[in-house]
Structure 1
Amino acid sequence: PEMDEILEKLGVSLYRSPNDVEEFRDGKVDFIGLNVYCREYVTDWHGGELAVSANNKGGSSKKVEGKCIAPLFESARDSNVPRNKWGREILPSCMYSTIMDVHERYDAPRIFITENGHGAYEQPDADGMIHDDDRIELLGQFIEHMMRAKRDGARVEGYYLWSTMDLYSWINGYEKRYGLVHIDFENNLERTPKKSWYWYRDLISKYQEQEG
């Protein structure tokens, strides 16, 4: 019924087979993959045109991520939640709420976190090390909320951090860094583990010991 209401608002016709309800009810999937970075905080549509905005200027811009999906909803801003340089909410607890929503809504299929990470502008110090403490703090919170969901019954069976190495970002090219390993794009792609790489290595070892 909810989908029918949305299709009517959009003025879209969707082919329906006579027994589609039964087919969807009987359908099974092996797992559900979730890319978790932030929540989608929205309010009622206020009459704007269809639009999607993204900040590709980082700290030099006041622009925030958002969208207007006419005539259904549009992005809202919670002044109580901090945002990063690209206008994205910093709210690690969304990991827990996202997993638990899927767990409860779809009767706990196997769940894999197929993407989760933190982008930042970074420069090595005099010794060539990147002390990305903000990444360590944020990822640690994300992972703890994931483990809390697992303790509360969600079948979380995998976590894939984005990313192992610095790479191209469609928002900020090579300036925005996501990796645990720094890539020197100006010096033969030289690779140097960041502080977060050692932290993540030790975190994996800790959980492996706990799991036996």
Structure 2
Amino acid sequence: MDFAEAQKEALGCRRCGLCHSRSQVVFGEGPLNAELFVVGEAPGFNEDREGRTFQGASGMLLDRLLGSIGLGRDRAYLTTLVKCRPPGTPPRGPKPAEINSCREYLMSQLAAVDPKVVLALGDLASRLLTGRKEAVSRIRGRAVPLDGRFVFPTLSLPRALYTPADRALLLSDFGRLPELLSAERPATYGTLNIPGGETGAREPAQPELF
């Protein structure tokens, strides 16, 4: 499935039960020639309302982190493992079957953008994109050469929002991205075969960003 076909199908997707908890599909955004590809877990309250990735406090934190290395969000492709908001306030994490339902969309995005660096935010994105089972807290900040690109696992934005120590670690990890973005693509031919495996609620209060 090519990018245009994936986007068109995703916007009306009913592959899993998340179609019942969303207001709208949040497919992703950014230039298709971006060298940095950022993958979060799932849309939240603000993303579901706006139809855009990484909004609200998490989006503000991401903007500041990107700014700390001289990038704007207009120079990265931003997306999530699943394209619809899971139910609950706050939303629960996506289930394996839901992630698998969106797998083809994510692979189409990766193929179209062909980034040099894939930033995997949080445990689910880290495990899916690196193929490793360890918690992201154990492997964060280490670039994994895979499919001719670097997969770089780090902590999730919501986790960093609520824990100052994790926020400092996330900032430190972002500091490594310029080095990876300026490096040659890794000389690896290994391929990761990724396994197929309530709207309108009031947004919870969120803490200061830094």
**TM-score calculated relative to the size of structure 1:** 0.29
Query: Counting strand residues as a fraction of each chain, which structure ranks higher?
Result: 1
Which of the pair has more CA radius of gyration? 1
Structure showing greater relative contact order (alpha-carbon pairs closer than 8 Å, 6 or more residues apart): 2
